[in-house]
Amino acid sequence: MEQPPLYRESYSKGVLQERLEELESLLHPCTLCPRQCRANRLVGDLGYCKAPHDLFISSASPHFGEEAPLVGNNGSGTIFLTHCNLKCIFCQNYDISIYGEGARCTYGKLAALMVDLQDRGCHNINLVTPTHYVPQIIKALSLAIEKGLSIPLVYNTSGYDSIDTIRLLDGIVDIYMPDIKFLDSGLSQRFCKAGDYPEAVREVVREMQRQVGDLHIDEYGIARKGLIIRHLVMPSCADDTKKILRFIRDEVSQNAFVNIMAQYHPCHRAGEFEEISGRISSKEHAEAIQYARGIGLLRASNY
């Protein structure tokens, strides 16, 4: 019999409420992410991410485009949150993440959406771009638990998270799903205006691995707990891809579940940068997977 999600035990022990209070203290001034922009969101200030204090979401529905262990037969219960603290110039969801396309959502409504996705058979609650809304999410999660939520919670992030925030999620998040976009600070500064991204993502991915370990998939092929790492192969960045794969093997786990993705296409402002203005070739993607397997990453593929 599978263990219940981590957040249910934390809730029953009162840990969830304690963590919520600590997380809410990071909103005034806001230090939820490495930008440390210190906007007082409680009084309406907007920081780098442009997210207000109130939750805004773009959509909530069963999603079938995620990794197979998340999707199963009934889909991943995916909730797209608006705005983003990274704002990549090649963002694939720029209408949501950069332009903030979405609608205000109360804590009660978000809790009801989570429970509805569970009732529709979804295998998990998949929070996309949650970094700048973590306290609000945890507040809604408490309400959802009271309504019977009992499926794994997925933290689907760009990887540009504060280590302090991630530590406060220990015992709450079941499945972490970070991107590792770059480990070259020149690339992360050029394309994300975040020269410290490599340092930040290294630290948080190691912490995520410490909390939940390698991905555990049950007898039905459904992810229950653990770490899923995504890496989007990009044109002109092959050397950095290799650096990322070596980091995962050496500092995370040789058994890490790594999705090496091929769907890059120039979105948003990518056309302004010649080196990333085109798609990758099938050969470039195949070489990345071959390299991962060659260095001993046992679960690296295009999922």
- Summarize pLDDT for 187-205 with one digit per residue, the tens: 999 999 999 999 999 999 9
Bridge partners, residue 30, by sequence: 27
Domains and CATH numbers, the chain: 20-219 (3.20.20.70)
Please check whether residue 225 is in contact with residue 235, taking contact to mean a CB–CB distance below 8 angstroms: no
User: 33, 129 in Cβ contact below 8 A?
Assistant: no
Question: Whole-number mean pLDDT of the chain?
Answer: 96
H/E stretch holding 89 reads none
Going by pLDDT thresholds of 50, 70 and 90, the confidence category of residue 19 is: very high
- pLDDT (tens digit, 9 = 90+) per residue, 155-189? 999 999 999 999 999 999 999 999 999 999 999 99
Q: What is the pLDDT of residue 1?
A: 61
> What's the pLDDT at 3?
86
pLDDT tens, position by position, 109-120: 999 999 999 999
d(CA 205, CA 147): 31
The C-alpha atoms of residue 65 and residue 70 are separated, in whole angstroms, by 9
73-102: average pLDDT: 96
Least Cα distance to 40 among 49, 29, 51 occurs for 29
